[in-house]
Amino acid sequence: MTNKPPEPEKKPDTPAAEPPQASETRIVAIGDSDFASNAYLGVEGNRDLFMNTVNWLAQQENLISIRPRDPADRRLTLTAAQFTMMFWLSIVLVPGLVMGTGVYTWWRRRG
């Protein structure tokens, strides 16, 4: 019986270790920060610009989007005098002018 020295264990072939990737540097240059203040945040998409810039800097590209606008308050507030004026203009005066013009035209063509 011959004793052979044990063979060194073969490690599975592994690719050479990849060098660590350098982190990506991202910079955003904007003229000033007024667009992100409370007074201007809702104007012309300033909120989207700010949020998308922060998401891009944080490398969260899946969060970049244009968000839907909040519905605006479109109520019409009238005083009693304004309501009365609106009634007389829209229900009486304008239809009366159209009818009067029609009667006048009919009367002129008839004679």
Q: Do 55 and 63 form a contact (C-beta atoms < 8 A)?
A: yes
When the pLDDT of each residue in the chain is averaged and rounded to a whole number, the result is 84
Q: Which residue type sits at 53?
A: T
Q: What is the pLDDT of residue 14?
A: 58
- Number of Cβ within a 10 Å radius of residue 85: 13
- Plot region of 45 (φ>0 → left; ψ -120 to 50 → alpha; else → beta): left
In the predicted model, is pLDDT for residue 107 greater than 90?
yes
Q: Structure tokens of 74?
A: 């479109």
List pLDDT tens digits, range 34-74.
888 888 887 878 888 899 999 999 988 898 888 887 777 78
In the predicted model, is pLDDT for residue 100 greater than 90?
yes
List pLDDT tens digits, range 89-99.
999 999 999 99
